Amino acid sequence: MILEYDNYSVDYATSGKSGLQKIIDNDFDAILLDIQIPDLTGFEILNKISEMNRNLKTIMISAHSTIENAVKATKLGAFDFIEKPIDRDKLLITVRNAVGYSKLQQENLKLKQSEENEYLIIGESNQIKRILETAQKVAKTDARVLIFGENGTGKELIAREIHRLSSRGNKDLIEVNCAAIPNELIESELFGHVKGSFTGAIKDRTGKFEQADGSTLFLDEIGDMSLQAQAKVLKAIEEGKIEPVGGEKKIDVDVRILSATNKDLKKAIEEGNFREDLYHRLNVIPIHIPPLRERKEDIPLLVKHFTEQICSKNNFPLKKFSGTALEALKNYEWSGNIRELKNMIERMIIMVSSNEITDDDVKLMLPQHNKSSSEDILTISNSFQDFKEKAEKAYILKKLDENNWNISKTAEVLEIQRSHLYNKMKKYNIER
């Protein structure tokens, strides 16, 4: 009655078996469990509740409490232990804490499931099936993996899956985007630095290698790393030790390395831009992810996944793509791969008012310039200079669309400064 007066919804059971059945049939936040029950002991019931693996907080009650009973209850998973006669305030505080903790755990579980859903690998094509089989095999080892693929194909997802399935998966995956870090800072980012080792080093910094000790380090866009940093990475792999910038002592690290690139590293080796010895160290298990245009049978599944994800995230009614809309999406080249597809799906879900997206909606919203072939530009060009400018404009527009008009990302892909990209956009009157 105390709990009901405090606006809790309460159900009762007069035996252990009936109580267990109610727990199976209902979704309770907390359980008040007496040690003395006619058909089963409270400890037997508590043990069965623990075996259910349910997010239930059980509060044990006893008129004959002992330290031994309290310890036993805690070991079996009890949230708390209350003595009879029951103190009203203590009961309310304990139940409030149990219910609050239970709801917090439920929210954390939903958040974790949402994060896992964000990194799902979607596809039923033979290529994706083979990649997942390879990932599952290699995850059981500490072998280094080098993932090849164009921008937007999902290289990071494969790295995450390998880490998740590995014995190191209980620790965070440490990621470094080698293309996003200036050459003068990459060594500090990877290996850390000591205070005063260079201008701006106002305190010691732990590098990514040390952060990944006992876990996995994912070196994304490894092909953009400077030769000097490559040499230090090679040394760290060979020795299992790192030395922070400006440091005098080496630090032991146990790190599994996964790396990825959108570049032809063999060509980079020939041109003197990538170390051959590092390439062979990293390329123990190669995984090649095909572009989306080579596995178009995966597009309907990807569209369904992104639609559900985006509608849920924005609290929209669930929308769907008609059969002809899916065909229109399959007929598109998707040079930006899955990233471009996801951006386009999000745009359509937000901009199309009806709950069904048709092929007319798709055709209206797909970038027209991406449909233009080089032959179209050749036909309408008046001179070689005119052709170069039209081709450059089309290429910039294409990359802007692929990167959802993010100027920094687009400039990075184009390998030019942001200011240079802004100047080009102004020159060609490019506006969103």
Calpha distance 70→75 (Å, rounded): 9
User: Is residue 66 very low, low, confident or very high in pLDDT (cuts 50, 70, 90)?
Assistant: confident
Mean pLDDT on 168-194: 91
pLDDT: which is higher, 376 or 144: 144
Calpha distance 207→211 (Å, rounded): 6
User: Is residue 28 very low, low, confident or very high in pLDDT (cuts 50, 70, 90)?
Assistant: confident
Mean pLDDT on 140-163: 96
Strand 241-242 versus strand 285-288 pairing type: unpaired
Burial 51-70 (b: 16+ CB within 10 A, else e): eeeebbbbbbbbeebeeebb
- pLDDT, residue 370, reads 45
Cis before 367? omega within 30: no
Q: What's the CATH number of domain 2-117, 3.40.50.2300, 1.10.150.120, 1.10.1740.10, 3.30.70.20? A: 3.40.50.2300
pLDDT: which is higher, 23 or 230: 230
Q: Which of 155-159, 334-338, 391-395 has the highest mean pLDDT?
A: 155-159
Chain centroid offset of residue 217 CA: 14
Residue 108, pLDDT > 50, answer: yes
Calpha distance 377→391 (Å, rounded): 7
Calpha distance 422→416 (Å, rounded): 10
Residue 94, pLDDT > 60, answer: yes
Q: Which of 10-14, 38-42, 258-262 has the highest mean pLDDT?
A: 258-262
Calpha distance 323→305 (Å, rounded): 16
Residue 383, pLDDT > 80, answer: no
Mean pLDDT on 415-429: 88
Q: How many Cα atoms are found within 13 Å in the side-chain-facing hemisphere of 305?
A: 18
Q: Which residues, 6 or more positions from 249, have their beta carbon under 8 angstroms from its beta carbon?
A: 243
Of the candidates 26, 35, 40, the one whose C-alpha atom is nearest the C-alpha of residue 64 is 35
Query: Percentage of the chain with pLDDT > 70?
Result: 92
| Token couple for 344 | 């386009």
pLDDT: which is higher, 215 or 400: 215
pTM above 0.85, yes or no: no
Mean pLDDT on 284-293: 96
User: Is residue 62 very low, low, confident or very high in pLDDT (cuts 50, 70, 90)?
Assistant: confident
- pLDDT, residue 381, reads 63
Contact 178, 191 (CB under 8 A): no
For the chain, what are the domain ranges? Answer: 2-117, 126-290, 293-366, 372-427
- pLDDT, residue 304, reads 94
Calpha distance 148→211 (Å, rounded): 25
Q: What is the pLDDT of residues 394-407, one digit of tens each?
A: 889 888 888 888 89
What SS3 state is found at 157? helix
Fold of 372-427: Arc Repressor Mutant, subunit A (1.10.10)
- pLDDT, residue 157, reads 94
Calpha distance 284→118 (Å, rounded): 28
What SS3 state is found at 45? helix
pLDDT: which is higher, 355 or 201: 355
User: Is residue 77 very low, low, confident or very high in pLDDT (cuts 50, 70, 90)?
Assistant: confident
Residue 347, pLDDT > 70, answer: yes
Fold of 293-366: Helicase, Ruva Protein; domain 3 (1.10.8)
User: Is residue 328 very low, low, confident or very high in pLDDT (cuts 50, 70, 90)?
Assistant: very high
Question: Are 2-117 and 126-290 equal in CATH topology?
Answer: yes
- pLDDT, residue 371, reads 44
- pLDDT, residue 373, reads 45
User: Is residue 118 very low, low, confident or very high in pLDDT (cuts 50, 70, 90)?
Assistant: low
Considering only 225-239, 372-386, 410-424, which range has the smallest mean pLDDT? Answer: 372-386
pLDDT: which is higher, 302 or 120: 302
Average pLDDT, the chain: 87
Matching residue, tokens 């095909």? 290
What SS3 state is found at 113? helix
Backbone φ/ψ region at 101: left (φ over 0), alpha (ψ -120 to 50), beta:
alpha
Calpha distance 16→37 (Å, rounded): 6
Contact 234, 278 (CB under 8 A): yes
Instruction: Give the class (CATH, top level) of 126-290.
Output: alpha beta
